[in-house]
């Protein structure tokens, strides 16, 4: 006993209580497992927290904390302490801690997904229902309750609340993908079709005429006409793949736009170029110029190589045909000095020296637009393609030549550039109606 007392002489109060497992608040009761307080004191602490917690004060605190973070970022100070920020928003020590925290969070999420993925396999091996874990019927993967729900859904042709797994990663999905590849569909079209069919099977257990009609009406209610049209086309193609074209539904008519909108103006284009040039961003400067001067789609733009500078054009397979993209000679001569210093086969590679992605181009344009005061709605790659067509027709009214340069299969697609913008239509309408 004397040795025990001697050991506690140099202890603090809390250390003393911990050594005997006593509550830090009342100092009488034993602590709850893994806590510093007993059960009664923990309940009192929770009640006090609920009593004194004010949502409005919490919102003010959060707002003030965001302001402090913003001020620190502007000053180049770590948001966790007052040291200099050397790694983004953090100092070296806090950047390491933040990285470890993110890695742990990612690993935890991965483990949860892994565990969720194992549940159906374990249930199937134990003869249990895949949806609730109850004993499954003989020869089935569902209990009596879920078997009845799915059978009724199939009979009625309605599947409200049905959440299937889709066809992604299944044998049927791979066969449909191969079927589309044999038809020489582009990779983007194949991905779009498979996603659309996957969406169908997440709601419906089988392909029937009734389900197809319900799917079509749902898409029209919930999505834009163009999206609904694409998904219905994909499902009609899937019906042909199954050998049941009679299950197909009528397509959705999507009227072409009678005007061009969200097009960057020449003033905004030159403002963007001036900003990039003054900042010394050569790559961004030439990216914007080549987008505007070639009229290339972003999927074509990212595939431009140095060989095209020698030939004056680039040929590539796109939209189901070989397309030739011309590059103005004046632009080639002007940019030759920049590209002579670049050691890469692509004109505009990413930071790793590989082919840039369409998303990467779009994000760069968005960032530059925000920086130089350009409208956000025109900060996308296709806006420069529209600008190219509009400015070309101002110099040359040969619409057949423009259709060929743009890679349009139909003149109707190109003729949209001859029409007025929505704002100009409204202005002229109001002017003509003033009588």
Whether 256 maps to a domain, the answer reads no
CA distance 382 to 289: 13
196 shares a domain with 309: no
* CB-based contact 167:193 (threshold 8 Å): no
CA distance 210 to 247: 9
Going by the DSSP 8-state scheme, the letter that residue 247 receives in this structure is: G
CATH of the domain at 197: 1.10.150.130
226 shares a domain with 81: no
Provide mean pLDDT across the span 188-207. Answer: 87
**The two three-digit tokens of residue 277, written as one number:** 């040039």
Residues 6 or more apart whose Cβ sits within 8 Å of residue 66 = none
Whether 99 maps to a domain, the answer reads yes
346 shares a domain with 384: yes
Quick one: which of 174, 171, 239, 226 has its CA closest to 200?
239
Q: Evaluate if residue 422 carries a pLDDT over 70.
A: no
**The two three-digit tokens of residue 41, written as one number:** 């004191």
230 shares a domain with 176: yes
**The pLDDT of residue 421:** 52
Which range among 41-50, 156-165, 279-288 shows the weakest confidence by mean pLDDT? Answer: 156-165
355 forms beta bridges with 349
**The pLDDT of residue 262:** 76
CA distance 48 to 52: 6
| Kind plus residue range of the DSSP H or E element containing 326 | strand 321-326
375 shares a domain with 226: no
**The pLDDT of residue 143:** 85
Whether 32 maps to a domain, the answer reads yes
406 shares a domain with 355: yes
Tell me the residue range of the domain where 167 lies.
162-247
231 shares a domain with 274: no
* CB-based contact 47:62 (threshold 8 Å): no
CA distance 402 to 406: 6
Q: Which of 188, 214, 247 is the last residue of a domain?
A: 247
Whether 258 maps to a domain, the answer reads no
pLDDT digits (tens, 9 = 90+) for 199-257: 898 888 889 999 999 999 988 888 888 888 999 999 999 999 999 999 999 888 766 55
Whether 255 maps to a domain, the answer reads no
Q: Per this entry, what is the length of the chain?
A: 435
Whether 141 maps to a domain, the answer reads no
pLDDT digits (tens, 9 = 90+) for 45-60: 877 776 666 777 777 8
pLDDT digits (tens, 9 = 90+) for 20-40: 788 888 877 777 777 788 888
**Which of the four pLDDT bands, split at 50, 70 and 90, describes residue 428?**
low
* CB-based contact 336:309 (threshold 8 Å): yes
Quick one: which of 72, 92, 74 has its CA closest to 82?
72
287 shares a domain with 232: no
63 shares a domain with 31: no
Which range among 95-109, 352-366, 416-430 shows the weakest confidence by mean pLDDT? Answer: 416-430
Q: Which of 219, 247, 275 is the last residue of a domain?
A: 247
Residues 6 or more apart whose Cβ sits within 8 Å of residue 418 = 393, 399
Backbone angles phi, psi at 156, to 5 degrees: -80, -20
Backbone angles phi, psi at 416, to 5 degrees: -60, -25
Mean pLDDT of the chain: 82
Instruction: Count the alpha carbons within 13 Å of 176 in the hemisphere toward its beta carbon.
Output: 28
- Whose structure tokens read 């590849």? 181
419 shares a domain with 310: yes
- Annotate 48-77 with b (16+ C-beta within 10 A) or e (fewer): eeeeeeeeeeeeeeeeeeeeeeeebeeeeb
Residues 6 or more apart whose Cβ sits within 8 Å of residue 254 = 225, 226, 229
Q: Which of 180, 214, 247 is the last residue of a domain?
A: 247
Q: What is the DSSP string of 3-18?
A: HHHHHTTT--HHHHHH
Quote the number of domains for the chain: 4
Quick one: which of 415, 155, 368, 162 has its CA closest to 269?
368
pTM of the model: 0.52
**The pLDDT of residue 119:** 67
186 shares a domain with 83: no
**The two three-digit tokens of residue 183, written as one number:** 């038809």
Whether 360 maps to a domain, the answer reads yes
Q: How far is CA 199 from each of CA 45, 87, 231, 234, 343, rounded to the nearest angstrom?
A: 49, 42, 9, 11, 44
Torsion of CA 267, 271, 272, 277, to 10 degrees: 140
CATH of the domain at 377: 1.10.443.10
Whether 433 maps to a domain, the answer reads no
356 shares a domain with 271: yes
CA distance 152 to 100: 50
């Amino acid at each position: 006993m004397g040795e025990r007392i001697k050991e506690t002489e140099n202890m603090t109060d809390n250390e003393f209580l911990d050594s005997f497992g006593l509550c830090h608040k009342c100092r009488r009761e034993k602590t709850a497992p893994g806590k510093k307080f007993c059960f009664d004191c923990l309940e009192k602490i929770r009640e006090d927290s609920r009593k004194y917690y004010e949502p409005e004060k919490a919102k003010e605190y959060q707002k003030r904390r965001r302001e402090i973070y913003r001020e620190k970022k502007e000053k180049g100070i770590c948001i966790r302490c007052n040291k200099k920020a050397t790694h983004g928003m953090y100092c070296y020590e806090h950047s390491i801690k933040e990285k470890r925290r993110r890695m742990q969070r990612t690993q935890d999420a991965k483990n949860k997904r892994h565990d969720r993925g194992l549940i159906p396999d374990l249930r199937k091996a134990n003869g249990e229902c895949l949806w609730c874990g109850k004993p499954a019927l003989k020869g089935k993967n569902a209990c009596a309750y879920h078997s009845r729900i799915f059978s009724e859904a199939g009979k009625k042709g309605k599947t409200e609340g049905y959440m299937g797994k889709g066809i992604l990663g299944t044998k049927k999905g791979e066969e449909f993908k191969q079927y589309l590849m044999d038809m020489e569909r582009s990779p983007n079209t194949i991905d779009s079709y498979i996603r659309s069919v996957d969406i169908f099977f997440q709601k419906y257990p089988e392909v029937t005429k009734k389900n197809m009609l319900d799917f079509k009406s749902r898409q029209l209610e919930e999505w834009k006409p163009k999206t609904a049209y694409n998904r219905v086309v994909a499902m009609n193609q899937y019906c042909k793949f199954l050998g049941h074209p009679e299950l197909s539904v009528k397509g959705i008519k999507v009227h072409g736009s009678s005007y061009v909108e969200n097009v960057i103006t020449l003033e905004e284009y030159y403002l963007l170029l001036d900003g990039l040039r003054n900042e010394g961003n050569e790559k961004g400067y030439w990216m914007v110029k080549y987008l505007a001067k070639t009229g290339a789609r972003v999927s074509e733009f990212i595939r431009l190589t140095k060989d095209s500078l020698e030939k004056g054009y680039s040929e590539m397979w796109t939209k189901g045909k070989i397309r030739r993209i011309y590059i103005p000679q004046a632009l080639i001569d002007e940019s030759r000095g920049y590209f002579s210093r670049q050691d890469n086969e692509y004109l505009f590679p990413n930071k790793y020296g590989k082919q840039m992605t369409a998303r990467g181009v779009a994000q760069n344009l968005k960032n530059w637009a925000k920086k130089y005061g350009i409208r956000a709605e025109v900060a996308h790659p296709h806006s420069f393609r529209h600008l190219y067509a509009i400015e070309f027709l101002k110099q040359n009214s040969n619409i057949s030549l423009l259709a060929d340069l743009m890679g349009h299969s139909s003149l109707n697609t190109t003729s949209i550039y001859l029409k007025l913008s929505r704002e100009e239509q409204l202005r002229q309408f109001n002017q003509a109606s003033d009588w």
